[in-house]
Amino acid sequence: MAQPTSAKHARKTDSAAGATAAKPAKSRRKAIPLLALGIATALVAGQVAGTSYYGSHFVPGTTVNGADVSNMTEAELARQVATSAASWKTTVAGQGLTFAIGATDIDLDVSPADYARDAKAQTDAASWALDLTHPRHITVSKTVAYNRKKLDALVDAAVQAHNQSATPPKNAWCTLNQKTSTFEVTQEALGTALDANVVKAQVEKDVARLHTKVSLKRDALLRPQLTSKDAGLLKAVDTANAYAGHAITLTKEGKPLAKLDKKTVATWVRVGDDLSVGLDRDAIAQWARDSLAKKVAKSDEEHDYAIDAASLAASVANAAQGEKDGSLEVPLAVTATRPAQTPGHEGRGRHIDLNLSTQYARFYDEDGSVIWRSYFVSGNTSEGRATPTGTFKVNAKRTNETLVGTDEDGDGEPDYKSHVAYWMPFVGNAVGLHDASWRSAFGGSIYSYAGSHGCVNLPPRAARELYGLVKVGDTVYVHS
C-alpha cells in the first residue's frame, strides 16, 4: 500500500514540475531577438536591393512633365521622348481660342538623352521607399529647344484673329448718373479678348515641357487698364462733382436771367483720357445760343447785338472750374452797325437829327454821311418840360458855361445852376446841346421820368466830339 507523500516532498515535487514547465518559455525569449534580427536583415537587404534597382529606374508614380515614367530606365525614357518628339503636336485651347502647333512649325529640337538624364538627376535612389508614398513630379525644360520667333508669330496671329470679334475689356470710368446728376465710378469688366503676351508665356512654358495640350484660363484675358480703385479716377470723380455743384446765375443788365443748376452744368463736364476734368465750352456755347439768344438779342440806334456765346462759355467754364459761385453778365457782341447814311436825310445837307422817341442823335455831313452819333437825355415829359420839336439853328458855341434855371418854385433862387464844359444852344439861349457829367446813363426812357429842363444832355465825351465838329448856323431837326 502506497504511503502518502509528505508536504515537504510534495513542495519539492511541485518545484521540479515547475522547473520542467518553464523550459519552453525561455526558448521563446531567445527566439524573439532572432526573429527581429531576421526582419532587420531582410529590410536592409530590401533597401539595398531597392536602392540598386531604383538607381537606374524611376520609382512607380513618378512623372516627368506630367507623363508617367514608372519603372522606366533613362534609356527607355530617352527612346520614348525621341519617338514622341518626332510627331509632337500641342493644342492650345481655352477662352474661345483653339489652334495647334506642330514640331516642324517651331523647329522643335529635343535632346532625348539629356532630357532623360536631367529627369533622373532629380531623383534619389536612397529615398525610393519614401517616393513610393510621395511620388515625385519632375519638370524638365532646359533640354527642349525651339524657334521662339516662329512660336510667337503663331500665337500673335491666332490671338489677333480671335480678338477681331472678341469683346475688349472695359475700363472703370467716371460716369454721369442721369437721375441724380452726380458722377460715379463704373466698375471695370473683363471681355473675351486675349492678352497675346500672357498666351505666349503659357504656351512657351508648356512647349518647353513637351505638353500636348495648353489650357488657357481667365488670366489669359486682357485686363482693364483702369480699375475702380485707381486714385486718379477717384480724384476725377470728386473734381467732376465739384465743378457741377457750383451755383452760377446769368444776368441781363444786372437782372437775373437764368440759373445754371447742377443738372445742366453736369452735362457739360468732360473727363479726358488722361483723367483731366474740364467743361465742354462748345456745349455751353450751343446751350447759350439755344436757350438765351432770343432773350438777350437787341438793337439800338447804332448796332444790332447778339449773345457772345463763346465768351459766355469761357466765363462759365472758368467760374465752375475755379469753384466760384456768383453772377455772370451775359456778354453781347455787335452783329451789325447802322449804315452811315440813313434813308430820308438825303439832300438835306449838313444837319443834326435829334430823335426824341429813340433818344438818339446823328450829325449828317453835306454828303449825307454820319460823322457823329450818340444817345442823349431830353426834357422831362412827366413834368411837362419836353424838348421843343421843329427845325432850328445852332446859334452859339461856348465852353465852361454855367446854366442857370428860372425860379419856378418862387423861393427867390434859380431852380438849378449847372456847370457845363460845352454849350451849343439852338432855341435862344435857353435850350441847347451840352455835356451832363452828373448822369451815368443815357438813352432809353430816362427822359420820361428824370429828364432835363428841356436841353439835350450828352455824355461828356460825345459833347466834346460834337463841339469840335459843329458850326454856328448848322441846322438842328428835333422830332419824335
Q: How far apart are CA 305 and CA 288, in angstroms?
A: 15
For 316-326, b where at least 16 C-beta lie within 10 A, e where not — what string? bbebbbeeeee
The residue behind cell 509528505 is 6
What is the DSSP secondary structure assignment for residue 391, as one 8-state letter? E
Distance CA 450, CA 443 (A): 11
CA distance readout (Å), 79 to 62, 85, 103, 110, 114: 17, 10, 17, 12, 12
For the chain, how big is the Rg over CA atoms in Å?
Answer: 55
What one-letter code names the amino acid at 407? D
Answer yes or no: 174 catalytic. Answer: no
Strands of 332-337's sheet in order across? 298-299, 303-307, 332-337
- What whole-number distance in Å separates Cα of residue 200 and Cα of residue 155? 6
Q: Record the cell numbers describing residue 228, joined without a space.
A: 475702380
Q: What is the DSSP letter of 216?
A: -
CA atoms within 13 A on the CB side of 62: 30
Q: Catalytic one among 162, 351, 434, 453?
A: 434
- Taking each helix axis from N to C end, the angle separating 112-121 and 74-86, rounded to the nearest 10 degrees, works out to 140
Which residue reads 539595398 in cell numbers? 48
CA 362/CA 339 separation, integer angstroms:
12
Q: How far apart are CA 30 and CA 18, in angstroms?
A: 20
Query: What secondary structure does DSSP assign to 36-66, as a single string?
Result: HHHHHHHHHHHHHHHHHHHTTBPPTT-EETT
442 within 8 A of 374, measured Cβ to Cβ? yes
Instruction: State the maximum Cα–Cα separation within the chain, in Å, rounded to a whole number.
Output: 200
Q: What are phi and psi of 15, to 5 degrees?
A: -65, -40
Q: Which of 333, 247, 253, 263 is nearest to 293 (CA)?
A: 333
* Residues counted in the chain: 480
Residues 300 and 443: beta-carbon distance below 8 Å = yes
> Which contiguous run of DSSP H or E holds residue 138?
strand 137-138
Residue type at 372? Answer: W
Nearby residues of 273 by Cβ (< 8 Å), 6 or more positions away: none
Catalytic residues: 434, 455
